[in-house]
Amino acid sequence: MRMTAVIDPAGTLELDLGGEKTTAPYPSVMDARRSVMSTATDLAAETSTATELHIEDPSGSRTILIQTDGAVIEQDTDSNPTESGPVQPAEAIEPAASPATAKEPTAPKATVEAAAPVAAPVPTPVAAPVEASVATEETTPETVASSAVAPAVVPVVVPVETVEPLPTRRTAMPSFVDRPDADSPAQAGFRGVLNQFGLKLAASPAELEQRRDEKTVSQHWAGPRTITVLNPKGGAGKTPTVVCLSAVFARLGGSGVLAWDNNNSLGSLGWRTFDAGHEATVVDLLEQTDYFMTAGARAGDLASYVHHQPSDQYDVLRSDDRPGAKKRHEVTGNEVHRLYSVAAKYYRLILMDSGNTERGDNWEAMIGHSDQVVIPVKSVNDAAEGASRVLSALRAGNEHAQSLADRAVVIVLGCTPSHGPAKLNELAESFRPFVKSVVTVPYDPSLIEGRIRFSSMFPQTRRAWLRAAAQIAEGL
């Protein structure tokens, strides 16, 4: 890729990139140089191709080569770089005439059309039928001879053109602000970088698909929705799945998202997220459910019982994980109903970590409140077996549980660097015929241990979680 930049003493930059020319003013020559170097470096990294940059400014001219890793190589200053003009499109190049056609030049189109016989206009038939006129005239040899020579009158059917009605005062006027996403210029990637210099490049198909997923995830529904994350196998990826999906829905759709650890065997959701300066758990909130259902209860009072995540904008309701307790409280099915009444009153979206058993009554109560089921599968056979068993358990349940199984979304997570796309896709294909959809998430070290921040993940990991959230939102 070749770029040519011309900077005048006032700092005005004229940039030529593959025939696309733009002009932008800068406060100084140095600022214009920095902008050109930044653009060339981004271009080399984005296209994985070295960028040749020729700069002409008040200090002279020089040519440098910027590698994909950002390294700069100075070219020979004595050489005169050739300027590359815009490539002429293939449609503008006329094919060469063959020898056969070159011998006899073709007559101009207008001449050929003039030589063709022009059809005489067909007279419009009269309204009276032919039989009636024959019956009123006397048949003579002269009339018979004239009728044999006269041309037959053929009725002509003229097609009626459809004309759009003219707008009136009662016609709805078009919107002056609404514009489809496809009409919005590119904002990301290499095209987005070029658009910062005044171009109007359209968004790529990948960017348009990401915009559609973001729009799907950011929507709100009439009434609360509950997403349950299931897999009886410990370490199958339930907690990272709850954390990442909560972050995506809260970041794009706004606040009102609760991540609830419904685990009776010491859930880890509290360990993988940040505390809010207190140690409250689900047990403390159970003591206040009656108050929070009253008309005088305030949403701000919940801050003493849930743990807000500042950067990812969702709240966490921890399980009973306090150390030193002689006996941890095991939540019953009736208590799940009480907690859910509070959660559904103050939150628009609830994501529940199910724990590792599907035989407790708290599990059954949770399934009864679920609108969508998500089954995480780490890229190991034990986790896949746990996912298969929980799908079978749902299909053996009532009509609601069977519907959840049919509309389930499976998320396959890479758990080691060696498990690449081939391994994840192989595992995904095993589940695809039995559920609504399957999404793969590549290995990311920030998901393996420690507290999880969505912003610390690789861009491809964040994109995969966005795709998973969009698939889930379609079922809500």
Q: What is the pLDDT of residues 343-396, one digit of tens each?
A: 999 999 999 998 767 777 888 999 999 999 999 999 887 788 989 999 999 999
Distance separating alpha carbons of residues 352 and 338, to the nearest angstrom: 15
89: pLDDT strictly greater than 70: no
Pick 266 or 247 by higher pLDDT. 247
Distance separating alpha carbons of residues 233 and 360, to the nearest angstrom: 15
Pick 401 or 154 by higher pLDDT. 401
Residue with tokens 């799945």: 241
Q: Which residues pair with 410 in a beta bridge?
A: 375, 438
288: pLDDT strictly greater than 90: yes
Mean pLDDT of 56-63: 86
Q: Determine if the pTM surpasses 0.85.
A: no
Q: Which SS3 state, helix, strand or coil, does residue 25 take?
A: strand
The DSSP secondary-structure symbol of 202 reads B
Which tokens hold the place of 292? 């929070």
Which tokens hold the place of 257? 């998202």
Residue with tokens 């030193």: 324
Q: What is the pLDDT of residues 134-148, one digit of tens each?
A: 334 444 444 444 444
- What residue ranges do the domains of the chain occupy? 2-74, 214-474
CA angle centred on 193, ends 191 and 196, rounded to 5°? 110
At residue 152, the pLDDT reads: 53
Give the residue among 475, 468, 474 at the shortest CA–CA distance from 248. 468
Which tokens hold the place of 12? 């005005």
At residue 223, the pLDDT reads: 94
Pick 97 or 2 by higher pLDDT. 2
Residue with tokens 């519907």: 403
Pick 436 or 37 by higher pLDDT. 436
Which tokens hold the place of 204? 């790529």
Q: What percent of the chain has pLDDT over 90?
A: 44
At residue 263, the pLDDT reads: 83
At residue 197, the pLDDT reads: 76
At residue 167, the pLDDT reads: 65
Residue with tokens 């080569």: 65
Was domain 2-74 assigned CATH 3.30.420?
yes
C-alpha torsion sign, points 17, 23, 28, 31: negative
Pick 451 or 145 by higher pLDDT. 451
267: pLDDT strictly greater than 70: yes
Q: Say how many residues make up the chain.
A: 476
User: What superfamily in CATH does domain 214-474 come from?
Assistant: P-loop containing nucleotide triphosphate hydrolases (3.40.50.300)
The DSSP secondary-structure symbol of 262 reads -
In 344-385, which ranges are E strands? 349-353, 372-378
Mean pLDDT of 58-70: 84
Which tokens hold the place of 230? 């299931």
> Highest-confidence range of 178-187, 284-293, 376-385, by mean pLDDT?
284-293
Q: What is the pLDDT of residues 195-207, one digit of tens each?
A: 777 778 888 889 9
Residues 6+ apart with CB under 8 A from 303: 276
Q: Which residues pair with 236 in a beta bridge?
A: none
Q: Are 241 and 229 in contact (CB under 8 A)?
A: yes
- Look up residue 413 and give its amino acid: L
Pick 104 or 472 by higher pLDDT. 472
